[in-house]
Amino acid sequence: MSSGHVFPYGITLSEGGIVTTFPAVEVGFVMKEGEHITLFLLVDSGAVISVLPKSDAEALGIQAEEGAPFAVAGIDGKAIQGWRHEVPVLLENEPYNLPVVFLENSNVPRILGRQGVFDKFTVVFEENKQRSALANIQSKEAQAIGEGIDAIARK
């Protein structure tokens, strides 16, 4: 097991030529044909669970409706219907099971939430360097991050 993973921020180009960046993670998924596909997910510390559009379930060979019904509240507070699944994924070629809700709305962003991730990794956002990191919680790097936070808390 590696000590962790570092990912550069993702980039989006909006109307009017506005460029924005966001903390993103490359996550490998197995498609229904057995091939792998890499998707970039927005790392959202405010999201409890990861979400993908229902169309992604179809590409992965998953019948979304066979999962447990699950409603996700959007930023506007309105519930969006979805179905919860445990999905095998790869992060830097290491296998993990990720709880994912496939949402009925196909316009939702692909989001990596806390569940199944934040309990396994110390998550770091380094805005000034436009990168994020996932350090395995048992690694010396995660321990060093924790010690740094402890030192700040003592001040």
What type of residue sits at position 88? Answer: P
Does the structure show a pLDDT above 90 at 108? Answer: no
On whether the pTM is more than 0.85, the answer is: yes
Query: What pLDDT sits at residue 73?
Result: 83
Query: What pLDDT sits at residue 1?
Result: 63
Query: What pLDDT sits at residue 57?
Result: 94
- Among 16-25, 63-72, 87-96, 107-116, the least confident range: 87-96
What is the per-residue pLDDT across 110-126, written as a single tens digit (0 to 9) for each? 999 999 999 999 999 99
| Residue 15: band (very low, low, confident or very high) from pLDDT cuts 50, 70, 90 | confident
Residue recorded with tokens 């447990």: 68
Sheet with strand 131-136: strands edge to edge = 4-8, 131-136, 121-126
- Do the strands 50-53 and 94-103 form a parallel or antiparallel pair, or are they unpaired? parallel
Query: What pLDDT sits at residue 115?
Result: 96
Domain ranges of the chain: 4-154
Query: What pLDDT sits at residue 122?
Result: 95
Residue 30 C-beta-side C-alpha neighbours within 13 Å: 15
Return the CATH superfamily for domain 4-154: Acid Proteases (2.40.70.10)
Q: Which of 21, 28, 23, 30 is nearest to 7 (CA)?
A: 23
Query: What pLDDT sits at residue 134?
Result: 94
What type of residue sits at position 90? Answer: L
Mean pLDDT rounded to a whole number for the chain: 91
Q: Which of 13, 104, 118 is nearest to 52 (CA)?
A: 104
CA dist., res. 48 & res. 67, Å (int): 17
